[in-house]
Amino acid sequence: MTGGLRVIVTGGAGFIGSNLISWLLRHPAIGRITVVDDLSTGSTSLLGGDLADVDFRRGSVLDEGLLDAAMAGADAVVHLAALPSVPRSVADPVTTHHVNATGTLQVLEATRRADGPLVVAASSSSVYGAQPVLPKVETSRAMPLSPYAVSKLATEAYLGAYHACYGLPVLPLTFFNVYGPRQRAGHPYAAVVPVWIDAALSGQPVTVHGDGTQTRDLTCVDTVCEVITTAITGRVVSQWPVNLALGTRTSLLDLAGLLGEILGTGLRVEHGPPRPGDVAHSQAAPARLLELFPGTRAVPLREGLERTVAWHRQTRSDTRSYTDAGGSR
């Protein structure tokens, strides 16, 4: 690839990052893409054939030398690398802080040493925590309930501060519950949508923590990728965080019902105790998003979940045919 914008994606081998790479590779304004990822939660397998079209650098965002080398000549940095889990942060708050908060600081420092590319970074709706106002407005006070949420508050606050102090062009985006193809189950910190689909396809019951009336603003990964791609190509800047969700509200019980319909088998729901650090209700006020990105399109939940279920079915059948072909391994 020659010409076009030079983009760095940290965490590009993760769920959102690998989807974003596919979007960016299809966009005519994008030139070279460099991925920085230490593969701690991601996998190059998620990039599939796209791996050959990116400059993949395995390593941590805590490695200054690696960041400096990757950033030379960059027009934009999309900073997605993080340990993205509330329970993981409750179990090990210090590591979450290092990767998520210090990692963001290192990325910003490297950007400052480079020629000030646009920095788009992922924050999380968990920053709102115990804030009772619904829908969540960016101007309401953050009330984090977990070390993960604190690390994400640091992420968005550092971006704002680097804009104020050094004039860096920044865009902190507050993701809500993002779901879609390439979001994997099968690890202890997996998100609810892949865990439930995987359990149902294996004939297992799904666990609802608490009574299931808690609500989430489920956002299809395509919406997230579309907004970030527009941000890069249109060089959209905001000192203050922007919610990246469209203000929908789905209870966990309704999600279970819809997934059961799509799978055609229903979902067997079991209730477990509520998890520490989890928030009761999460719904974005999308006004700031729609002001900056007027064309943002919500993917209907059923459509997004159907594509997600299809990806899980395909992945399971690919794995089965590989195992069948290769015998016992």
Ligand X SMILES: NC(=O)c1ccc[n+]([C@@H]2O[C@H](COP(=O)([O-])OP(=O)(O)OC[C@H]3O[C@@H](n4cnc5c(N)ncnc54)[C@H](O)[C@@H]3O)[C@@H](O)[C@H]2O)c1
Scanning 35-43, 49-57, 108-116, 137-145 for contacts with ligand X by CB under 6 A, the matching segment is 35-43
CA distance 287 to 294: 10
Out of 54, 150, 178, 236, the residue judged to bind ligand X by CB under 6 A: 178
Q: Is 217 in the site for ligand X (CB under 6 A)?
A: no
Q: Is 82 in the site for ligand X (CB under 6 A)?
A: yes
Q: Is 159 in the site for ligand X (CB under 6 A)?
A: no
Q: What's the CA angle centered on 195, arms 84 and 57, to 5 degrees? A: 40
Q: Is 104 in the site for ligand X (CB under 6 A)?
A: no
CA distance 323 to 329: 8
Q: Is 301 in the site for ligand X (CB under 6 A)?
A: no
| DSSP 8-state secondary structure symbol assigned to residue 13 | T
Q: Is 106 in the site for ligand X (CB under 6 A)?
A: no
Out of 177, 223, 248, 282, the residue judged to bind ligand X by CB under 6 A: 177
Q: Is 50 in the site for ligand X (CB under 6 A)?
A: no
Total number of residues that touch ligand X (CB under 6 A)? 30
Pairing between β-strand 215-216 and β-strand 250-251 as defined by DSSP bridges: antiparallel
Structure tokens at 261: 């319909």
Q: Which helix (H) or strand (E) holds 251?
A: strand 250-251
Q: Please check whether residue 147 is in contact with residue 93, taking contact to mean a CB–CB distance below 8 angstroms.
A: yes
Out of 8, 22, 42, 170, the residue judged to bind ligand X by CB under 6 A: 42
Q: Is 84 in the site for ligand X (CB under 6 A)?
A: yes
Cβ partners under 8 Å of residue 36, min gap 6: 8, 9, 10, 11, 12, 57, 59, 61, 66, 67, 70, 81
CB-nearer residue toward ligand X: 4 or 95: 95
CB-nearer residue toward ligand X: 124 or 223: 124
Q: Is 60 in the site for ligand X (CB under 6 A)?
A: yes
Out of 22, 41, 111, 215, the residue judged to bind ligand X by CB under 6 A: 41
Q: Please check whether residue 181 is in contact with residue 209, taking contact to mean a CB–CB distance below 8 angstroms.
A: no
CB-nearer residue toward ligand X: 178 or 259: 178
| DSSP 8-state secondary structure symbol assigned to residue 142 | P
Residues that bind ligand X (CB under 6 A): 10-11, 13-17, 36-42, 60-62, 80-84, 99, 103, 122, 124, 175, 177-178, 191
